[in-house]
Structure 1
Amino acid sequence: MEFYLCIAFLNWPKKVGLSRSTLLYYEKQGVLHGTRQTNGYRLYLDKDVQRLYLLQQLQAGGLTLKECKACLGSKVERAVLKKRLQQLDEDIAQKQQARDLLAALLGEGLLRPWHQQTDKLAPDAHLDWLKQQGFNEKQALHLNWLSKDMNEHDQYVADFMTVYQPLERWGPGTEEDSLKALQLLPTTPTKAVDIGCGKGFSTTLLAQHTQARVIAVDNELNALSQLAQRLTEQGLAERVTTQCASMAELPFAPKSFDLIWAEGSAYIMGVKNALTQWRPLLQNRGCLVLSDLVWLTNTSSQAALDFWRQEYPDIQTVATRISQMEKAGYVVLSHFTLSEQAWLDYYLPLKARVAALQNSLPNSAALQDLAREVALYEQYLGEFGYEMFVLQVMEDQALDELSRIDQELG
């Protein structure tokens, strides 16, 4: 004899953890088959109750009601289960990423990948967000191009400066390369600014080989102090003024200079941003000299590609940089690749300094990154290098014509 279970409808939904409307919907979809009695009760077979529990178990596996009904009524389709399993794996991966990000923001994980991806997709918003987290302009820029992790930033920068402070050069360059660029200028400068001057090799060269009044700008006070001392010793202090300021917020009026010099520094705020923001500071037919890391080949090794995609995602070919410069309103007067000596003068002292600090900074992320960088120079230099660009502000009429052509081309 078949056994029937008679359950008060108002109590049974609580027992199975479902709402009254859900049970009615299940009946409508043919999953359950209750019978309404005259006293307001619904009559269910015991197998209906068990069927409902089985349905809930299948739903817990991520199956839709339609798929659950199909599974209850026939043999399980493996293709359906595989599809749901794949979706579940994707959901878990997304939730794991979300958890990793939250943990990293709380200081319980690495934030570098997130910072790099965010800065690549939304650089301005990322910079503003860093400022909202309590970083000043200098710290935010340092974080973007240096530590790339706000949780480890202070220690990273401290170790980085420990490495670089005693070094003469903080980037590739030679006096010969700088003089070559200076000689390519169409006119003799009278008012110049050296942006991101560091310890002031370029500043000193400008003061020695021109009669221009020079302002040396950097946000590292220690570097500016060393520069001021060197200028005093060489009798050049009267024509050079040091200014501690952010290159992204320069305190100068429009058309203040006929020459802007920026060796190896524009990348800090982004070359395209620098081209746009610095242009108003130049007088008519004023010049901008800058150097930037570029690809020198279209067939770079995977190791070099991987390294620079992480350390300098905006690295471009020479042709791409020239196109950006022209669109920003400059005429490219000349350009050339820095000499091999420029790199030797930079990375050989850096290599020795990194080796000397291995014992005192054994777990330093900054030291490890610099060691990788030196190794890359030694193995792949020639696939990439620094290019010096000598630019002149485009006449307003020519710039308007260029803008018109760009608009017509879409």
Structure 2
Amino acid sequence: MYHISELAQRVNLSRSTLLYYEKLRLIQGKRQTNGYRYYSDNDLQRIRLLQQLQAGGLTLKECQSCLDGKINRDMLMDRLQVLEQEIATKQHAKQLLSSMLGMNASCNWHETIERTAPLAHLEWLKQQGFNEKEALRLKWLSKNINEHEQYTSDFESIFYGIDRLGPSDDDDSLQALHALPINTGNALDVGCGKGLTTCLLAHHSGFSLTALDNDEYHLSCLKEKIKHQPINERITTSCNSMMAMPFEDQQFDVIWAEGSAYIMGVKNALKQWQQFLKPHGYVVISDLVWLTDTPSIEAYEFWQKNYPDMSSKQQRTTDIINSGYEIITSFTQSDQSWLNYLVPLKQKLNCIDDNDYKSNAVNDLRQEIHIHDQYLGQYGYQLFVLKSKR
């Protein structure tokens, strides 16, 4: 037999809670001749069973039914499903925290946050101590804080000596250039890389060109390439972020961005860059788009992981018009543009020993090539020549 205070101590509940349970007839105390209430072992065990049922997610009323032998199987099944969902949510939260702490691979987390909040994702990475160049590469390439340094090193080693970091072709660029109504003025090449397109524009137009990239090595390759050429006088390099460009408002007649606007999001790029355009200035931009309404599952899942903002050609056209531009012309980049990118990359991968690379960079590039070999044509780069309405 237990006094109420002793029972409360044993089950770690307050005296008032026990009195409430007694009022609900969950336990039954007995008043002795001395005026004190006493409780039996049966009351103690009922409370402990009650606590276990509550830990399973049952309400007090539902617990009372179970204690009285009135078990509702459908109700318990519903509770079980809710509990399973809660466990899955907690497990996801655990994986998220572990990823953020660098205790396990963070690829899934980076892919998820990139789909839902890409700009916040970038800012968070920068707050962790990565500079913008490192953060962008982590966001788009390694997606894993633990192996990012090794992944980047392997990636750069694979692409060393390869000029094109993505699909492009001189004929495609010239087709876009010839669609522009102007051929002189100030032009900005955003995300110029090693300057292949910059040099092409300089040779085939009268533009004064600013080549912007956040990779000093890429810009040094451009400088070395043009230092003994006449076009050197018309090309200025700028090692800066495309998201915080250090230029005056309305400085450029043309902004050229082949294969680079995806980094900050096409709609966001078109909005932010408009301030640097002269009134009714021009933008040349390319973006990877779906060319079919029924892509294969494997291709769709691959690009959902690697370019979650990828849309159809029709949707991207709508986005451009809604951003305040009219489309002068638009065309899908040629098969040759893909060959210019893929052939040198395949040759490089065929010549290397995978065992020399410790990260997933090689496997990721081989997977990308597999997707291109199987499904290229379901998607492609669409090149847009635009005129600002402002």
The separation in 2 between residues aligned to 1:388 and 1:52, in whole angstroms, is 71
Identify the residue that residue 335 of structure 1 maps to in structure 2: 330
Q: In structure 1, how many angstroms separate the alpha carbons of the residues matched to 2:66 and 2:80? A: 15
Identify the residue that residue 181 of structure 1 maps to in structure 2.
176
> Would you say the 8 A contact 2:99–2:109 is kept in 1?
no
Q: Rate the CA distance shift 1:309–1:46 in 2: closer, same or farther, 3 A.
A: closer
SS at match of 2:38: strand
Alignment gaps of 5+ in structure 1: 397-410
> Structure 2 CA distance, aligned partners of 1:130 and 1:110?
15
CA contact (8 A) 2:255 2:284 kept: yes
Deviation at 1:46, TM superposition (A): 4.4
User: Paired residue for 1:290, among 277, 281, 285?
Assistant: 285
1:75 positional shift: 4.3
Aligned counterpart in structure 2 of residue 202 of structure 1, from 185, 197, 204: 197
Aligned partners of 1:79, 1:55: CA distance in 2, in Å? 19
TM-score using structure 2 length: 0.95
Question: Which residue of 1 is the match for residue 125 of structure 2?
Answer: 130
For residues 131-158 of structure 1, the C-alpha deviation after alignment (integer angstroms, 9 at most, x for no partner) is 2111222222222222223333222222
Task: Please tell me whether the aligned partners of residues 251 and 276 of structure 2 are also in contact (alpha carbons under 8 angstroms).
Answer: yes
Moved over 6 A (4+): none
1:286 and 1:16, CA in 2 relative to 1: closer, same or farther beyond 3 A? closer
Question: How far apart are residue 317 of structure 1 and its match?
Answer: 1.3
Matched-pair contact (CA < 8 Å) for 1:264–1:290: yes
Counterpart residue number, 1:388: 383
The aligned counterpart of 2:209 is: 214
AA aligned opposite 2:309: D
* TM-score (norm. length: structure 1): 0.91
Equivalent residue in structure 1 for 2:28, among 7, 27, 33: 33
Matched, 1:303 2:298: yes
Contact 1:9 1:40 in 2 (8 A): no
- The number of residue pairs the alignment matches comes to 390
Matched, 1:152 2:147: yes
1:165 to 146, 160, 163: 160
Aligned match for 1:228, one of 223, 226, 229: 223
**Contact persistence 2:132–2:241 (CA under 8 A):** yes
Q: Percent identical across equivalent pairs? A: 49
Q: What is the CA–CA distance in structure 2 between the aligned matches of 1:283 and 1:162, rounded to whole Å?
A: 40
C-alpha separation in 2, matches of 1:72 and 1:65: 10
Q: Equivalent residue for 1:406?
A: none
Q: State how far apart, in whole Å, the 1-side matches of 2:11 and 2:279 are.
A: 81
Q: Of 285, 309, 314, which residue of structure 2 is paired with 1:314? A: 309
Q: Which residue of 2 aligns with 1:373?
A: 368
What corresponds to 2:57 in structure 1? 62
Q: Compared with structure 1, are the counterparts of its residues 36 and 331 closer, same or farther at alpha carbon in structure 2 (3 Å cutoff)?
A: same
CA distance in 2, matches of 1:361, 1:91: 43
- Does the alignment pair 1:356 with 2:358? no
For 1:254 and 1:235, locate their aligned partners in 2 and report how far apart those are by CA, in whole Å. 29
Cα deviation for residue 362 of structure 1 reads 4.5
> Structure 1, residues 207-255: CA drift from partner, whole Å, max 9, x if none?
1011211111111111111111111243321111111111111111011
